[in-house]
Amino acid sequence: MAETDAPLEPPPWDEELPERDPDTADIFGAPEPEPAPEPELIPEAAPALASMAEPQDQGAAYTVLARKYRPRTFEDLIGQEAMVRTLTNAFSSGRIAHAFMLTGVRGVGKTTTARLLARALNYESDTVHQPSVDLSVDGRHCRAIVEGRHMDVLELDAASRTKVDEMRELLDGVRYSPTEARYKVYVIDEVHMLSTAAFNALLKTLEEPPPHAKFIFATTEIRKVPVTILSRCQRFDLRRVEPEVLVGHLGRIAEAEGARIDAEGLALISRAAEGSVRDGLSLLDQAIVQADRGQIVSAAVVRDMLGLADRALTIALFEHVMSGKTGEALAQFKDLWGFGVDPAQVMLDLLEHNHGASVAKALGPDALHLPKDQAARLAAIGATASAGTLSRLWQMLLKAYEEVRRAPDPQAAVEMALIRLCYAADLPGPEEALKALRDGEPMPGGGGGVSHSGGGGTTASAGGAFAVQARVAAPAPLAAPQTTAALASFEDVLALIQSKRDITLLMDVQQYVRPISFRPGAIEFEPAPRTPADLTRRLSSRLKEWTGQTWLVATAGGGGAESAWERQKREEREARDQILADPFVMSVMDAFPGAELLGVRQLAVPQGEAVSVNPDEDAEED
């Protein structure tokens, strides 16, 4: 009985064993995992970026800066103050459109703005029960919308849903009310990729959508979107971010990441980003790893990372080109070629320097977003060169850039372009050259490529400008102004106009001027029908310009002789009638019925001693 009365022990399978024995290893031999470390805090130097940076676990995959610092509120958007102001006023007044079209270049925040709009439309908290652009505090639906798992916010890529059947399937759900949020929001990225049939299927719904549906479109090719779609949307053009704004933004993010980058290096990254925040953050991500933690990433390292030539070297090359120094320019390019610089990039830099010199000439060096020393050098070039010279050089550089891109040997193409540019840098324009030829003055320009010797002679440097000046100086006496006494008749006036190659004036004078009287310094004529109103003024001013004396040109009511054009036509008719009256020509016309006399030409008779063509006469002389 004692044995039966003893309490029974529980079976071993009912015992509560510890979940894990700390003294044993895992079934796969791995030790017990250590507790996860605390996430690294963002430095206090950039508190404004704390809301943008997403918390990241140390063991998780690295998140690039473009995603880590994606704007989470409208205040975080940089460079888009006009759009934010418009949306703020629209939401505060309740005038919210049913469709939005966001356009701009890559990386300016189109998709980010679309997500912020979706959050603002469906924002709801314990105290706010209406759409709001104040997203500083997350609402009930914000987290789900940001993570892309909200049932009422559909984010689509038009490149993968281009067919009309897919668009119709999407629009079938528009008529149903949202399940949780206030609005059913459709975010369609790269909407220009939709087909024409898909756009047509979208038109009717977009024109008369249900009150619970909102559409947000984003595109980089606004011209490919039909105007019928654009007219039904509220359009926002997101601007490129200015370089100085982007430099400040990149500097704050670099400080938050504990990286040290030279200010000039940040400027290089901003210039390479071309106004795109995402491109700038991607380049910043690449620049941070160029040096060990705690070390400064210099501008030279950033320039080498971007594959850019040193701006100071290319400015020196541009100075040699503008001075006409061919040898120095070729040597400078060889140094750049040795550094591994792309020849096409050299031509692009020269184009940029030409543009900078032109802008500095018009607005001053402060208009250039460059360091002071570089801006001063370009401003000095713009101050010494004329606007015409810079404009001609721009056209030549554009042509040279295309040649370098297509040439089988880009290095040789750049060298030939530099030789051509140095030769033509100081050459005068067509107007200056004609004026110098007319006045007998030395050819303007050539200052950069000419050096004077001690004996008073002039030698040409590599620029070649003096060679042109010497060639022009020889025929200068032939272009001296004619005196009024040398014009003894109206035919001399016509010859003078023809020698000056003023074709328009020559044709008007020949066709409309019927001379009445002529004396040196005064012309009176009868105007023919349809005479230009300014012919008298143009003829008088041209004669004064060419002869250096004042001419009186007046018109009279009648009594004028034939104009040169009328006289030419009359002489042609008389010559034609005389030829047709010739017996031989008449016999030919009778022998060939329907023949016509198309034209009359005066053959030139060779001058010199006449040669007999009769062999009998030659024989008698012998």
Does the pLDDT at position 102 exceed 70? yes
Answer whether residue 181 is part of any domain: yes
Answer whether residue 609 is part of any domain: no
Question: Can you give the pLDDT at residue 548?
Answer: 81
Answer whether residue 177 is part of any domain: yes
Answer whether residue 588 is part of any domain: no
What integer is the mean pLDDT of 358-372? 82
Residues in the chain: 622
Same domain, 488 and 340: no
Is the torsion defined by CA of 239, 85, 134, 99 positive or negative? negative
Answer whether residue 474 is part of any domain: yes
Contact 192, 218 (CB under 8 A): no
Which of 163-177, 369-383, 505-519, 591-605 is predicted least confidently?
A: 591-605
CA Rg, the chain, in Å? 42
CATH of the domain at 274: 1.10.8.60
Which of 26-30, 418-422, 550-554 is predicted least confidently?
A: 26-30
Question: Can you give the pLDDT at residue 4?
Answer: 47
Neighbours of 413 (CB within 10 A): 21
Same domain, 125 and 205: yes
**Domain final position from 210, 237, 264:** 237
* Spatial CA neighbour of 89 closest among 133, 35, 124, 33: 133
Answer whether residue 376 is part of any domain: yes
347-361, 493-507, 535-549: which is most confident: 347-361
The alpha carbon of 538 is separated from its chain's Cα centroid by a whole number of angstroms, namely 40
Does the pLDDT at position 580 exceed 60? yes
> What is the SS3 assignment for 177?
coil
Does the pLDDT at position 30 exceed 80? no
Same domain, 153 and 282: no
Does the pLDDT at position 379 exceed 60? yes
Same domain, 450 and 397: no
11 pLDDT band (50/70/90 cuts)?
Answer: low
Same domain, 292 and 317: no
> What is the SS3 assignment for 87?
helix
> What is the SS3 assignment for 135?
coil
Same domain, 257 and 157: no
What integer is the mean pLDDT of 168-189? 88
Answer whether residue 58 is part of any domain: no
What integer is the mean pLDDT of 309-314? 76
407, burial (CB in 10 Å: exposed 0-12, middle 13-18, buried 19+) = middle
Does the pLDDT at position 304 exceed 80? no
Question: Can you give the pLDDT at residue 449?
Answer: 40
Question: Can you give the pLDDT at residue 308?
Answer: 65
Same domain, 247 and 233: no
CA atoms within 13 A on the CB side of 314: 21
- DSSP notation for 362-412: HH-GGGS-S-HHHHHHHHHHHHHS-HHHHHHHHHHHHHHHHHHHH-SSHHH
Q: Which has more confidence, 312 or 443?
A: 312
Which of 301-305, 367-371, 418-422 is predicted least confidently?
A: 367-371
The CA distance from 90 to 70, in Å, is 24
Question: Can you give the pLDDT at residue 217?
Answer: 93
Question: Can you give the pLDDT at residue 45?
Answer: 41
The CA distance from 116 to 106, in Å, is 18
Only one residue has tokens 């003078």, namely: 496
Question: What's the chain's average pLDDT?
Answer: 78
User: What are the strands, taking DSSP E only, across 190-280?
Assistant: 213-219, 234-237, 260-261
312 pLDDT band (50/70/90 cuts)?
Answer: confident
Query: What confidence tens digit (pLDDT) does each residue in 48-69 have?
Result: 565 566 555 555 678 888 888 8
Only one residue has tokens 């008389």, namely: 574
Question: Can you give the pLDDT at residue 425?
Answer: 72
* Spatial CA neighbour of 464 closest among 326, 344, 264, 591: 326
* Number of domains comprising the chain: 5
Neighbours of 307 (CB within 10 A): 11
Parent domain of 339 = 311-425
Question: Can you give the pLDDT at residue 461?
Answer: 38
Same domain, 527 and 442: no
The CA distance from 424 to 392, in Å, is 9
Q: pTM of the entire structure? A: 0.54
CATH of the domain at 517: 3.30.300.150
Query: What confidence tens digit (pLDDT) does each residue in 199-250 have?
Result: 888 888 888 888 999 999 999 889 999 999 999 999 999 888 888 888 889 9
The CA distance from 450 to 93, in Å, is 70
CATH of the domain at 410: 1.20.272.10
Does the pLDDT at position 17 exceed 90? no
Which of 380-384, 449-453, 577-581, 613-617 is predicted least confidently?
A: 449-453
Question: Can you give the pLDDT at residue 445?
Answer: 52
Answer whether residue 8 is part of any domain: no
**Domain final position from 306, 335, 360:** 306
**Domain final position from 306, 323, 357:** 306
Distances (CA, A) of 98 to 62, 192, 223: 38, 19, 21
416 pLDDT band (50/70/90 cuts)?
Answer: very high
Same domain, 459 and 528: no
94-98, 489-493, 610-614: which is most confident: 94-98
Q: Which has more confidence, 34 or 66?
A: 66
CA atoms within 13 A on the CB side of 43: 10
Same domain, 222 and 252: no
Same domain, 364 and 468: no
Contact 277, 241 (CB under 8 A): yes
What integer is the mean pLDDT of 557-564? 76
Query: What confidence tens digit (pLDDT) does each residue in 450-505 have?
Result: 333 333 333 333 344 333 333 334 444 444 455 555 777 888 888 888 888 888 88
How much of the chain, in percent, has pLDDT values that exceed 90?
12
Q: Are strands 552-555 and 234-237 parallel, antiparallel or unpaired?
A: unpaired
What integer is the mean pLDDT of 358-380? 83
- Beta bridge mates, 460: 450
Q: Are strands 213-219 and 184-189 parallel, antiparallel or unpaired?
A: parallel
The CA distance from 583 to 597, in Å, is 14
Q: Which has more confidence, 391 or 457?
A: 391
Same domain, 208 and 115: yes
8 pLDDT band (50/70/90 cuts)?
Answer: low
162-166, 241-245, 434-438: which is most confident: 241-245
CATH of the domain at 92: 3.40.50.300
